[in-house]
Amino acid sequence: MMKKRYRAAALALVSLLLLGTMTGCGSSSSGGDKQIIRIGHNQSTNHPTHIALQAFEEFIESELGDKYDVEVFPSELLGSQNEMVQLTQTGAINFCVASNSLLETFSDNYTLFNLPYLFVSSEAYHASMDDENITGPIFESTKQAGFTAVTWLDAGTRNFYTVDKPIETVEDLKGLKIRVQQSPTNIEMMDRLGGSATPMGFGDVYTSLQANIIDGAENNELALTDNGHGDVCKYYSYSMHQMIPDILIGSNDFLDGLSDDERAIFEEGFELVNQVQREEWVKAVEESKDRAQNEQGVQFNYPDIEPFREACLPMHDDMLEKYPDLVPIYDAIQAYNEQYPADES
Ligand code: GCU
């Protein structure tokens, strides 16, 4: 309830801010004033993504501070991820961070990175995401929709976590209501694993767990600590079912308006976001695991993932049949999977 009221107030604030932009307040168009660059995301201010975007803010302002004023809005202040993507699409805000999951409803190409058990190791995942031959066709594919992906951010590995009992086998998911992100691939994954998929936005998960509307969710370790889910869910099971990147997307209206020199500086800034976020990510996961275990009393389990993988694997062929243009990209990912096989630790 509080949260809804808070969100409504925040959205009213956004409308005012945006109205200001449209009427020229704080925009460079009237000469002299700086143009405000608004970037929204749904994580807390401790999160690696926020830290990386602050580094971006500092960098852009040090290089182009006479022209641009970068403002980073954390914690869904500009709305849920879905809402922020729409605001970016129309150019009402300049950038936002969206989970790759959500982007599949804007372009089919994004379905690829949402496939369960696509990457066999985090090294294969990172190498694939760093390869422009793989990401290029996907990142460009929303051009018509009004936005473009400018870099990716690590969001680790997604695993199941539950309130009452650990998930040791696929059968343990049977009958459980598990929150998934709002994407057809995630709903199908849950169906194949026998659980009952409950799609909802990230900001609603904590209260839904508390109110027993759902029995569990799936996410990286930071959700336990940063979002407090580990206060309610005491079992975290490494099913390792997805490595879904977050994507920084920019509005085409804004990106297309940059001069070549400015664009080069922004590209450096995007690279910086990626680097800082990845460094911070490694530290943050370690800290989260430690806090979840020692302060929240979360138990970590390591089930045999093979039966989970087998249940989801038919989704790969189904997707390739449906979107044959993605076959070469899928094959390039498989080459990285061979180069960087799963580590047994
Ligand atoms: C992760 C991811 C977010 C996403 C969230 C979710 O935290 O980084 O981008 O919104 O999962 O499950 O919705």
| CATH code for position 318 | 3.40.190.170
- Domain residues for 177? 158-243+297-339
Q: Encoding tokens for residue 303?
A: 């089930």
Flag whether 120 is in a domain: yes
Residue 147 buriedness (CB in 10 A; 0-12 / 13-18 / 19+)? buried
Helix 81-89, helix 2-22: angle, nearest 10: 10
Pocket test for ligand 1, best of 158, 202, 205 (most atoms within 8 A of CB): 202
How many structural domains does the chain have?
A: 2
Distance 129 CA to ligand 1 centre (A): 17
How far is 152 from 106, CA to CA, in rounded Å? 17
Flag whether 266 is in a domain: yes
Q: Taking the CA of residue 51 as centre, how many other CA atoms within 13 Å lie in the half-sphere pointing to its CB?
A: 13
Q: Clarify whether residues 37 and 76 are in a common domain.
A: yes
Distance 102 CA to ligand 1 centre (A): 10
The pLDDT value recorded for residue 2 is: 40
Q: Clarify whether residues 9 and 113 are in a common domain.
A: yes
Flag whether 253 is in a domain: yes
How far is 296 from 240, CA to CA, in rounded Å? 22
Distance 99 CA to ligand 1 centre (A): 6
Pocket test for ligand 1, best of 81, 99, 100 (most atoms within 8 A of CB): 99
The pLDDT value recorded for residue 150 is: 98
Q: How far is CA 331 from CA 151, 155, 191, 277, in A?
A: 22, 23, 26, 27
Going by the DSSP 8-state scheme, the letter that residue 141 receives in this structure is G
What strands lie across the sheet with 95-99, from one edge to the other? 68-73, 35-40, 95-99, 246-251, 147-153
Q: Clarify whether residues 162 and 117 are in a common domain.
A: no
Q: Clarify whether residues 249 and 239 are in a common domain.
A: no
Flag whether 292 is in a domain: no
Q: Clarify whether residues 72 and 13 are in a common domain.
A: yes
The set of residues, in sequence order, having a beta carbon less than 8 Å from that of 306 and lying 6+ positions away, is: none
Q: Clarify whether residues 208 and 254 are in a common domain.
A: no
Pocket test for ligand 1, best of 47, 95, 101, 273 (most atoms within 8 A of CB): 101
Output the ligand 1 site: residues, CB below 6 A.
42, 81, 99, 155, 181, 202, 219, 223, 246
Tell me the pLDDT of the chain (345 aa) as tens digits: 344 444 554 555 555 455 444 433 344 444 468 999 999 999 999 999 999 999 999 999 999 999 999 999 999 999 999 999 999 999 999 999 999 999 999 999 999 999 999 999 999 999 999 999 999 999 999 999 999 999 999 999 999 999 999 999 999 999 999 999 999 999 999 999 999 999 999 999 999 999 999 999 999 999 999 999 999 999 999 999 999 999 999 999 999 999 999 999 999 999 999 999 999 999 999 999 999 999 999 999 999 999 999 999 999 999 999 999 999 999 999 999 999 999 765
The pLDDT value recorded for residue 17 is: 55
Q: Clarify whether residues 238 and 249 are in a common domain.
A: no
Q: Clarify whether residues 80 and 177 are in a common domain.
A: no
Flag whether 71 is in a domain: yes
Q: Give all strands (DSSP E) within 109-234, no chain letters.
A: 147-153, 158-162, 177-180, 196-199, 216-219
Regarding pTM above 0.85, the answer is: yes
Q: Clarify whether residues 129 and 163 are in a common domain.
A: no
One-letter amino acid identity for 4? K
Nearest CA to ligand 1 atom 11: 219
Q: Clarify whether residues 151 and 173 are in a common domain.
A: no
Backbone dihedral angles phi then psi of residue 297, each to the nearest 5 degrees:
70, 35
Flag whether 189 is in a domain: yes
